[in-house]
Amino acid sequence: MHTSAVIIDCDPGVDDGVALLLAFAASDVLKLRGITTVAGNVAATLTARNTCLIREIAAREDVPVYTGCVQPMQRKPVEAGHFHGESGLGDLPIRTPRKGPEALHAVEFLIRELTTAPAASISLVITGPMTNVATAIQRRPEVLRGVREFAIMGGARSAGGNITPSAEYNIYADPHAAQVVFNAGPPVYAFGLDATHQVRATPARTAALAALDTPAAGTARDLLEFANALPANGPREQGSPLHDPCPIAWLIEPSLFEFRRCHVDVETESALTAGHTAVEFRSRADRAQNVQWATRANGDGVFALLTRLLAQSAKA
Ligand code: RIB
Ligand code: CA
């Protein structure tokens, strides 16, 4: 069985919460070095608290959490509370977690971990604005030596945008950071809306989670049902798209996704199209094709994996 050393950088966030529950349940395959959190869907203090809360529910307080950047590299913060609720975790009961984040800043953790890890040994999953990772790269470019690949939820091509007509939220929230990561050099596996819209939390799928008797499965079901109840996510029977668990599912079961090699540039300046991902499938001498763009996702397979692993997770 292939095991990966993994760092997850996230902004919980309803779907980040489900992604974390999946990753915490996959302890046989994913060796989690740490979770770094960033301002995004909600403020940095809340994404850190939410991560510690999900970690407690998953009974994985062996994994350290590090609080990160409070605002994007250049743009003003743009939150997405309307999709994630005021707390960032939908209508989940909120309490102060037993164990909080470490004192070390997330960027310093990324620098320490990636500059001391064996070469190309760490899979870096990013499911929020890429501010922490881009800041670490700019502060200490040698962090790239430790990166095996970036697996990011972000961007849109044929699916169009979800925060503006042409931009997906994670890229829009910090386009300068995204441009740094896409063009840093290590392979990027990009799970944009083109793929994540093929993975829907239909009522039948959330019912399968509800039938399990583990805190993680019940929490995942509650988070997904909150998203399904939002009119902005479309008709309930269609199910809301499951964005952030996609890169985690890919790490565990790569065959669930198909990709096309490409180069990606990010619009950072235009008022109209900031955050747009220009996905170029045509090979060009002056453009490294270092990005694998997810074009197909096996929605049934992703949910079967999520249900199987959450069924095995710690009982109450
Ligand atoms: O566009 C979807 C992305 O934006 C997800 O990561 C979700 O959590 C929000 O951050
Ligand atoms: Ca997110």
Report, in this order, helix, strand and coil percent for the chain, each rounded to 5.
Answer: 40, 20, 40
- Residue 287 is predicted with a pLDDT of 86
For residue range 196-241, list pLDDT tens digits in order: 999 999 999 999 999 998 999 999 999 999 999 998 888 888 999 9
Ligand 1 nearest-atom number relative to CA 193: 1
User: Please, which pLDDT band fits residue 316 given cuts at 50, 70 and 90?
Assistant: low
State yes or no: pLDDT of 28 exceeds 60. yes
- pLDDT by residue (tens digit) across 68-87? 999 999 999 998 888 899 99
Ligand 1 pocket, residue 9 CB under 6 Å: no
pLDDT per position as a tens digit, 257-286: 999 999 999 999 999 999 999 999 999 888
Q: Does the pLDDT at position 1 exceed 60? A: no
Counting from 1 in the atom list of ligand 1, the atom nearest the Cα of 16 is: 8
Q: What pLDDT shows up at residue 213?
A: 86
Q: What is the structure's pLDDT at 236?
A: 87
Task: Find out whether the beta carbon of 222 lies less than 6 Å from any atom of ligand 1.
Answer: no
Which-ligand-closest: CA of 9?
Answer: 2
Q: Torsions phi, psi of 234, nearest 5?
A: 90, 180
pLDDT at position 2:
60
pLDDT for the residue 315 = 74
pLDDT at 21 over 90: yes
What pairing do the DSSP bridges indicate for beta strands 188-191 and 65-67? Answer: unpaired
Mean pLDDT of 42-63: 98
Cα–Cα distance between 204 and 302 in angstroms, integer?
14
pLDDT at residue 314 tops 80:
no
| Domain ranges (residues) in the chain | 5-315
Residue 4: pLDDT band with limits 50, 70, 90: confident
Tell me whether residue 243 is one of the annotated catalytic residues: yes
Strands 122-126, 147-153: pairing kind: parallel
- pLDDT confidence of residue 180: 98
Is the CB of 191 within 6 Å of ligand 1? Answer: no
pLDDT digits (tens, 9 = 90+) for 93-135: 999 999 999 999 999 999 999 999 999 999 999 999 999 999 9
E strands present in the chain: 4-10, 30-37, 65-67, 122-126, 147-153, 188-191, 200-201, 240-241, 257-266, 277-280, 291-297
CA of 244 relative to ligand 1 center, distance in Å: 7
5-315 homologous superfamily? Ribonucleoside hydrolase-like (3.90.245.10)
In this predicted structure, the answer to whether residue 247 has a pLDDT above a threshold of 90 is: yes
Q: Cβ contacts of residue 165 below 8 Å, gap of 6+?
A: none
What's the burial of 286, exposed, middle or buried (CB within 10 Å: 0-12/13-18/19+)? exposed
Tell whether ligand 1 has an atom less than 6 A from the beta carbon of residue 162.
Answer: yes
In the prediction, which pLDDT does 234 show? 86
> What confidence score (pLDDT) does residue 233 get?
85
Contact of 54 with 88, CB cutoff 8 Å: no
